[in-house]
């Protein structure tokens, strides 16, 4: 049975990539189909058809297409999860209490690559599987990172605002070409950013917990050196206790006054309050922000809004990974992960985060 379902997974993935017809079912549907709850936003028809072809009942959350599942009340979430074998989750916190309340829930899949909102230890303890969609949005996030660098350096936001109010003066910005760019973190996305930067004739400095001596075109340095030398500091590290507020009052004061900070990783990597203070004091030149501390704390929304309102800040709402192509890849990979977990089949490369079935 597992072999049949795995064959179906592979065939379906190939057909989806070719844009062909929906995959054929790998086995007759059982009388009662396993239920898969979808609460992540923008889950598409192709991934839904894939799951249905594998014999699953796909149950949407009922939220508007672009609404965050973090806004689902606890009682409503528990009702939705009743009887679900799999859950493709968006921004909702997956807590020990939620997992314990639904012992039939076997797999929790994220379309993205972050899993800081999932209690991974609880999942292991309770015998559950946690997956991510590794690699799905890497190109989109890397592209977005470069876009933010250019937008801030060339003062695009200020220029557009000036024209809109009838002011046609030329606002002089700065080149990216020839600059020194510091990357904090050098995982999949950091490496893709470095490759894109190679076309700009920049010097790329990297600080990482695991330096790669084989990496071409970059120089590994200590964080203090990276902060002091870089014209652009770009964040690509996971949010863990050691990296929280890696950009803080001290690091901001150590930067060049002409420096720009870009964050397309996790909001907690920057102390947003000290960033706002540094921008107001002219300690750095600008920032490109796709993520904010306010995503995890509604009380900080005014702070995020104050940052976004600044002329020298270009802000997007955690949208770096949300290109049409990235969403399609992530939806299909998360669906494949759910199907693999419930069939006992191999997972797509890099997607398995926790497997509580293995003790």
Burial of 103 (0-12, 13-18, 19+ CB in 10 A): exposed
Number of other residues whose CB lies within 10 A of the CB of residue 1: 9
Residue 38 is inside which H or E element, if any? strand 35-38
Residues 6+ away with beta carbon under 8 Å from 76 = none
Q: How many residues does the chain have?
A: 359
Catalytic residue, candidates 110, 191, 295, 329: 295
Distance CA(256)–CA(37), nearest Å, equals: 48
What radius of gyration, in Å, describes the C-alpha atoms of the chain?
A: 22
At 20, is the secondary structure helix, strand, or coil?
Answer: coil
Select which of 102, 144, 229, 318 is catalytic.
318
| Distance of alpha carbon 59 from alpha carbon 35, whole angstroms | 7
Residues sharing a CB contact under 8 Å with residue 332, sequence separation 6 or more, in sequence order: 13, 16, 46, 47, 50
Q: Which residue has the tokens 């009942």?
A: 57
Tell me how far apart the alpha carbons of residues 247 and 55 are, in angstroms, rounded to a whole number: 47
Helix or strand holding residue 232 (H, E): strand 232-235
Among residues 49, 266, 283, 293, the one annotated as catalytic is 266
Residue 73: how many other CB atoms lie within 10 Å: 8
236 is catalytic: no
Can you state the angle between helices 301-309 and 272-280, rounded to 10 degrees?
30
Active site annotation includes 301: no
Nearest to 261 by CA among 250, 245, 275: 275
**Among 130, 133, 91, 109, which residue's Cα sits nearest to residue 267?**
91
283 is an active site residue: no
Q: Which two tokens stand for residue 284?
A: 């750095």
Active site residues: 266, 295, 318
């Amino acid at each position: 049975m597992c072999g049949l379902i795995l064959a179906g997974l592979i065939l379906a993935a190939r057909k989806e990539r070719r844009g062909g017809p929906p995959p054929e079912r790998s086995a007759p549907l059982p009388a009662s189909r396993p239920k898969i709850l979808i609460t992540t936003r923008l889950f598409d028809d192709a991934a839904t058809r894939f799951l249905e072809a594998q014999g699953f009942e796909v149950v949407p959350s009922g939220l508007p297409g672009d609404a965050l599942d973090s806004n689902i009340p606890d009682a409503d979430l528990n009702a939705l999860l009743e009887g679900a074998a799999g859950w493709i989750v968006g921004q909702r916190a997956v807590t020990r209490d939620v997992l314990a309340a639904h012992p039939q829930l076997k797999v929790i899949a994220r379309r993205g690559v972050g899993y800081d909102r999932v209690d991974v230890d609880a999942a292991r303890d309770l015998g559950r599987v946690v997956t991510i969609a590794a690699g799905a949005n890497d190109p989109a996030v890397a592209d977005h990172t470069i876009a933010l660098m250019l937008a801030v350096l060339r003062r695009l936001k200020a220029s557009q605002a000036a024209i809109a109010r009838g002011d046609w003066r030329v606002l002089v910005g700065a080149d990216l070409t020839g600059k020194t760019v510091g990357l904090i973190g050098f995982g999949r996305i950091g490496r893709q950013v470095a490759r894109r930067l190679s076309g700009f004739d920049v010097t790329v400095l990297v600080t990482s917990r695991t330096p790669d001596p084989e990496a071409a075109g970059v120089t590994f340095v200590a964080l203090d050196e990276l902060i002091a030398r870089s014209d652009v500091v770009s964040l690509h590290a996971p949010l863990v206790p050691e990296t929280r507020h890696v950009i803080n009052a001290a690091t901001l004061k150590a930067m060049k006054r002409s420096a720009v900070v870009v964050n397309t990783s996790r909001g907690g990597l920057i102390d947003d309050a000290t960033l706002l203070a540094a921008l107001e004091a002219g300690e750095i030149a600008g920032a490109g922000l796709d993520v904010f501390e306010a995503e995890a704390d509604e009380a900080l929304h005014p702070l995020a809004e104050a940052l976004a309102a600044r002329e020298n800040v270009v802000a997007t709402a955690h949208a770096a990974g949300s290109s049409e192509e990235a969403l399609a890849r992530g939806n299909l990979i998360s669906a494949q992960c759910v199907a693999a977990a419930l069939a006992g089949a191999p997972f797509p490369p890099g997607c398995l985060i926790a497997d509580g079935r293995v003790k």
